């Protein structure tokens, strides 16, 4: 959407004024300053908001040496909200429609359930194998006693198993099993039988390969179609794709599948306040139809018969996890560049660094919530 000539001329001044409280200068000398190569960046930012800003980065119209710190500074000052106020009528309309779409339309129905698998997780196992560590965990690591990404992920997996009080011979359900990291670890180290579900064909194929010879079954299925009874249930990094209009149904599925004395561990990114939309750039290019839950929304959806036994927040560890992923991705880009474009490389850099900035300033949190049925005699003590 075009803007009047006068507004177009003022756009660089408006963007610079927005960035000033964050200590960011256009074409400045600090590593978190942005270097703008095309004035189209300013117009697109004021007319399309974060979507336009992200797309112009992908197209090489601007750059930044320390992109993670740039985003941390922007998010600390809540510049996205201020940008929406300063933007033109087109941006206001986009913001209104985005909020309307997420609040009143169920974007995570069964019919849409496989969309995020096809558009993000099926990007290519080659990308994720080079970005992640050998556990293939695509979620926050636990860095309390770790100094490498792999150790942080192994410590996270073991922490989950201990919080679930896994016992040999138990049946574990992994909702959103990814590439099988949790299933493989639990089966090998705790002697449990695991059923994992995913909406990604690529994840299923690699998870089955990694778990060959173990008591692990990987199913390509939506969580709403599950049947059976399980001693323990875990869901790591999947709840962000459920959507608020489906929270009640999600926990009803957990009620149905969890044995009376069982435990459920929910590992999810979350926000400190209820939000009715998601970032347009992230929605279009990374996680279609996703929406981060709030603590209030989760507590309300649990109802009267599910009890929170423990709520652990270690969101500060997502920053080093994301930066470790970027380091791996960048170091192995030469192995991927023949198959993927430079625009893909810049998209991935923008995605990982913007998320790192979000967690660095506490805009994002990472929760592990242990849940049981109310009234069951479970002697549960929190584990850290």
Length of the chain: 384
> What's the pLDDT score for residue 288?
83
Burial class (CB in 10 A: 0-12, 13-18, 19+), 29: exposed
What are the angstrom distances between the C-alpha of 287 and each of 16, 103, 118, 133, 231? 29, 17, 10, 21, 31
Across the chain, mean pLDDT equals: 90
pLDDT beyond 70 at 257: yes
Phi, psi of 264 (to 5 degrees): -125, 130
> What's the pLDDT score for residue 238?
95
Helix (H) or strand (E) holding 270: strand 258-270
Counting Cα atoms < 13 Å in the Cβ hemisphere of 192 gives: 26
Residues whose CB is less than 8 angstroms from the CB of residue 356 and which lie 6 or more positions away in sequence, other chains included: 68, 71, 72, 318, 319, 322, 323, 326
- In the chain, where are the structural domains located? 5-104, 110-373
pLDDT beyond 50 at 17: yes
pLDDT beyond 50 at 173: yes
pLDDT beyond 80 at 97: no
Least confident of 7-21, 78-92, 170-184: 78-92
> What's the pLDDT score for residue 252?
96
Sole residue written with tokens 């922007």: 74
> What's the pLDDT score for residue 123?
73
> What's the pLDDT score for residue 98?
56
Query: Which superfamily does CATH assign the domain made up of 110-373 to?
Result: Vaccinia Virus protein VP39 (3.40.50.150)
Least confident of 94-98, 247-251, 266-270, 324-328: 94-98
Residues whose CB is less than 8 angstroms from the CB of residue 207 and which lie 6 or more positions away in sequence, other chains included: 177, 178, 179, 180, 183, 196, 198, 216, 218
Sole residue written with tokens 């500060």: 316
The tens digit of pLDDT for each residue in 151-165 reads 999 999 999 999 999
pLDDT beyond 90 at 85: no
The reply to whether 64 belongs to the active site is: no
pLDDT beyond 50 at 4: no
By DSSP bridging, strand 62-63 and strand 216-220 are unpaired
Confidence of residue 87 (pLDDT cuts 50, 70, 90): low
Q: How far apart are CA 287 and CA 241, in angstroms?
A: 8
pTM above 0.95, yes or no: no
> What's the pLDDT score for residue 6?
38
Sole residue written with tokens 């996890």: 321
Q: Which candidate in 64, 137, 161, 355 is catalytic?
A: 355
Beta carbons of 340 and 348 less than 8 angstroms apart: no
To the nearest whole percent, how much of the chain has pLDDT over 70? 87
pLDDT beyond 70 at 2: no
> What's the pLDDT score for residue 279?
86
pLDDT beyond 50 at 100: no
> What's the pLDDT score for residue 107?
55
The tens digit of pLDDT for each residue in 265-324 reads 999 999 877 765 678 999 899 988 788 999 999 999 998 899 999 999 999 999 999 999
pLDDT beyond 90 at 34: yes
Beta carbons of 173 and 195 less than 8 angstroms apart: yes
Q: Which of 9-13, 40-44, 98-102, 242-246 has the highest mean pLDDT?
A: 40-44
Confidence of residue 113 (pLDDT cuts 50, 70, 90): low
Confidence of residue 112 (pLDDT cuts 50, 70, 90): low
> What's the pLDDT score for residue 89?
54
> What's the pLDDT score for residue 287?
85
pLDDT beyond 50 at 5: no
């Amino acid at each position: 959407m075009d803007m009047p000539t006068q507004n177009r001329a003022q756009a660089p001044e408006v963007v610079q004024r927005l960035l000033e409280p964050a200590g960011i200068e256009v074409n400045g000398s600090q590593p978190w300053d942005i270097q703008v190569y095309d004035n189209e960046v300013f117009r697109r930012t004021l007319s399309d908001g974060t979507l336009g800003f992200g797309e112009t980065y992908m197209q090489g119209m601007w750059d930044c040496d320390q992109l993670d710190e740039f985003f941390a500074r922007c998010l600390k000052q809540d510049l996205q909200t201020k940008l929406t106020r300063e933007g033109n009528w087109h941006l206001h309309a986009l913001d209104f429609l985005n909020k309307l779409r997420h609040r009143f339309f169920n974007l995570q129905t069964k019919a849409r359930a496989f969309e995020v698998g096809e558009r993000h997780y099926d990007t290519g196992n080659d990308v994720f194998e080079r970005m992640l560590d050998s556990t293939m965990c695509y979620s926050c690591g636990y860095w309390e006693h770790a100094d490498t990404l792999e150790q942080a992920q192994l410590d996270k997996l073991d922490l989950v198993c201990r919080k679930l009080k896994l016992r040999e011979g138990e049946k574990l359900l992994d909702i959103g099993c990814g590439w099988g990291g949790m299933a493989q670890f639990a089966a090998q180290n705790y002697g449990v039988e695991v059923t994992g579900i995913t909406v990604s064909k690529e994840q299923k194929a690699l998870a089955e390969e990694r778990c060959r010879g173990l008591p692990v079954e990987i199913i390509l299925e939506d969580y709403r179609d599950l049947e059976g009874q399980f001693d323990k249930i875990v869901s790591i990094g999947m709840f962000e794709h459920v959507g608020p209009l489906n929270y009640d149904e999600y926990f009803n599925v957990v009620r149905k599948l969890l044995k009376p004395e069982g435990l459920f561990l929910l590992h999810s990114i979350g926000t400190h306040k209820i939000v009715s939309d998601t970032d347009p750039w992230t929605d279009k290019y990374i996680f279609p139809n996703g929406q981060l839950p709030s603590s209030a929304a989760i507590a309300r959806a649990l109802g009267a018969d599910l009890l929170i036994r423990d709520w652990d927040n270690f969101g500060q560890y997502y920053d080093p996890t994301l930066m470790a992923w970027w380091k791996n991705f960048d170091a192995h880009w030469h192995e991927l560049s023949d198959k993927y474009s430079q625009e893909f490389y810049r998209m991935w850099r923008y995605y990982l660094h913007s998320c790192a900035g979000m967690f660095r300033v506490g805009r994002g949190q990472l929760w592990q919530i242990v849940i049981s049925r109310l009234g069951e005699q479970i002697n549960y003590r929190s584990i850290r």
